[in-house]
A and B are shown apart, each in its own frame.
Chain A
């Protein structure tokens, strides 16, 4: 499984755009990149997933360069409620079911007023 590296912590202010970058130098051809968000006392929550280029949904955008060795989660106009731990994962979906994904330590994002 490809190993991921992301900053341990980041902080920003309300209304700012926050970009969290994840490195995955050993990503395999079939691997997808998925980001999760976890609040205290809750399970992680799926945010976004992509394979290449750019993916956008109502919550975030995911930018993946051509070599796919890194990815950047972009959170527009953050609020205090975006304070959470964000995990970057790399893995391959399979036709018979999902493979077990390995979570790292994640990035603890703190949003200040």
Chain B
């Protein structure tokens, strides 16, 4: 099992550009989570899906952020337009009905200049 796969690993973009982060969850997992991590705020839950349906997006900072899960094997997190304060590491995680817990990807380090 390759685990949760995120791409790209690193992204540097200019303010105002659109950014798309991608995630492939572990096959068979039915829940997918997007987190953002910064030094100041720690790990924040942005949104999560159960069976491809968004359940709670209350953590999404503002309308510039959107997430989709068109099928069980793929999800995207889009930021449009990006701003320097969006710079962070974005993690995707998947799970199948705990108690086995989440499996996190390696993250995407986003830098907006």
Contact = CB atoms under 8 A, between A and B. Distances in A.
Contacts of A95: 97
A108 to B, nearest CB: 11
Contact of A98 (B4, B59, B91, B97): B97
Q: Most A CB atoms within 10 A — which of B33, B50, B59, B102? A: B102
Interface string B22-60: 000000001101010000001111011011000110010
Contact of B99 (A36, A93, A96, A102): A93
A46 B48 contact: no
Interface string A40-77: 01111110010000000000000000000000000000
Given A43-B91, A100-B48, A32 B98 contact: yes
B45 A98 contact: no
24 contacts: A34-B98, A34-B99, A42-B106, A43-B4, A43-B105, A43-B107, A44-B43, A49-B98, A93-B99, A94-B97, A96-B30, A96-B50, A97-B51, A98-B33, A98-B48, A98-B102, A99-B48, A99-B55, A100-B47, A100-B55, A100-B56, A103-B42, A103-B43, A103-B44
Interface residues of A, number: 25
A44 B42 contact: no
A84 to B, nearest CB: 13
A96 B51 contact: yes
Interface of B: 4, 30-31, 33, 35, 42-45, 47-48, 50-51, 55-56, 59, 91, 93, 95-107
A89 to B, nearest CB: 9
Contacts of A94: 97
B42 A104 contact: yes
Contact of B45 (A46, A97, A101, A106): A101
A86 interface: no
A86 to B, nearest CB: 13
A60 B55 CA distance: 32
